[in-house]
Structure 1
Amino acid sequence: MMYKNTIESVIAKQDISDVIMRYARAIDRADGPLLHSCYWDDAIEEHGNSYTGPARDYIDGAMERLMKGGDVMMHHVGNIHIEFDGPFAWVETYLLTFARFSKDGEKWDTMTGGRVFDKFECRDGEWRIRHRKIALDWNRDEPMSEGWCLGLFKPEDPRMNMGEKGKGDLTYTRF
């Protein structure tokens, strides 16, 4: 079925897209309050076989893991498809994620392609996630191999801005 865009639907699509982008920033920087702002308090998170339950508990657990021993992580947002159904929107978002994990004392890089399926709800003019499920499409794991562009960049140089979890990251500072 073809839907005609209206000013209201275009604004709603932008609001929903902003929540998805905010989610990516929040999870990658381990910003719990920002991540909580993407979900309604009664939202449900179904994160594959690793978690199913209240989104609040999922977020709090993820923040604890990320701040304790989490390494680099990056979520890239791709196509976003939105269908409206009254105060709800059904949203499919393509994601490409990179994460580094330790296994048996060795660091591994993992790249995963997948999609998140969200049921958004608009309450008092604000769109947030009400229910989220993920679908994983492909994955590649390999031992870490970091050469910083064959030595062009030097992470130990004090002029380098290296990404980090928390408020010390460049995204939270102003220059």
Structure 2
Amino acid sequence: MDHDLQAMIDREAIRNCVARLARGEDRRSAALIRACWWPDARFDYGVHGGDFDAYLAWVVPGADAIKNTQHLLGQTYIELASRDRARAETHVFSYHRVDMGAGDRDTCIGGRYLDTFEKRNGEWRIVGRIMLYDWEQDWGAAADWSKGVMGYPFTADHFSGRAKNDFSEGWFSGELK
């Protein structure tokens, strides 16, 4: 295959892996997360680090204090080091609804993932991740979602968040319309 075409395919596979991982983290889905990391991977988030098993146990089921998350991904800059190794920097904006004992609060973190990828048996996955924090903001007391949005009440149960029983899972599978 033409080298430039293969490089484009590899970069898209890496971007897709980063997006699938963020989706898995927001849903606390061990299966989605596991499909994005090699079992021998390592991570360092500054506040926690270790091997993949430690990472998975940290994220799934997640801390009771963290009720909901949303990871918004920005640009991913990728350098292909060889046919089977790459480095990627992805900007991330992560929202967390947390309760540290004083009621729900909304917080956000801006940072970058520095991922090392390996391609094994034709598949790109993360073999190492370092989280860089650029900023953090406590937005204060969380909105009361039981009242809807901007004064409008919710009209169905599927507007309750993602961490548990995510509506989009059934939607993607075709079970829900």
Provide the TM-score with structure 1 as the length reference: 0.87
Determine the structure 2 residue equivalent to 1:161.
Answer: 159
Q: 5 Å matches for 1:26-37?
A: 26-37=24-35
Give a deviation string over 1:133-167, Cα, whole Å, max 9, x none. Answer: 01000111032241644212x24x4365322324x
How far apart in 1 are the matches of 2:150 and 2:62?
31
Determine the structure 1 residue equivalent to 2:119.
Answer: 122
Matched-pair contact (CA < 8 Å) for 1:96–1:114: yes
Determine the structure 1 residue equivalent to 2:87.
Answer: 90
Determine the structure 1 residue equivalent to 2:53.
Answer: 56
Determine the structure 2 residue equivalent to 1:150.
Answer: 150
How far apart in 1 are the matches of 2:131 and 2:115?
9
The alpha-carbon deviation at position 121 of structure 1 amounts to: 0.5
The alpha-carbon deviation at position 81 of structure 1 amounts to: 0.2
Q: How many residues align?
A: 167
Give a deviation string over 1:17-60, Cα, whole Å, max 9, x none. Answer: 11000011000011011101110010001111x21210222112
5+ residue gaps, structure 1, are none
How far apart in 2 are the matches of 1:159 and 1:129?
35
Equivalent AA in structure 2 for residue 139 of structure 1: E
SS in 1 for 2:159: coil
Matched-pair contact (CA < 8 Å) for 1:111–1:140: yes
How far apart in 2 are the matches of 1:36 and 1:120?
14
Provide the TM-score with structure 2 as the length reference: 0.86
5+ residue gaps, structure 2, are 172-176
How far apart in 2 are the matches of 1:161 and 1:97?
19
Identity within the alignment, %: 27
Determine the structure 1 residue equivalent to 2:174.
Answer: none
Determine the structure 1 residue equivalent to 2:69.
Answer: 73
How far apart in 2 are the matches of 1:100 and 1:159?
19
Q: 5 Å matches for 1:12-27?
A: 12-27=10-25
Matched-pair contact (CA < 8 Å) for 1:46–1:53: yes
Matched-pair contact (CA < 8 Å) for 1:106–1:143: no
Cα 1:113/1:129, change in 2 over 3 Å: same
Return structure 1 stretches of 4+ with deviation > 6 angstroms: none
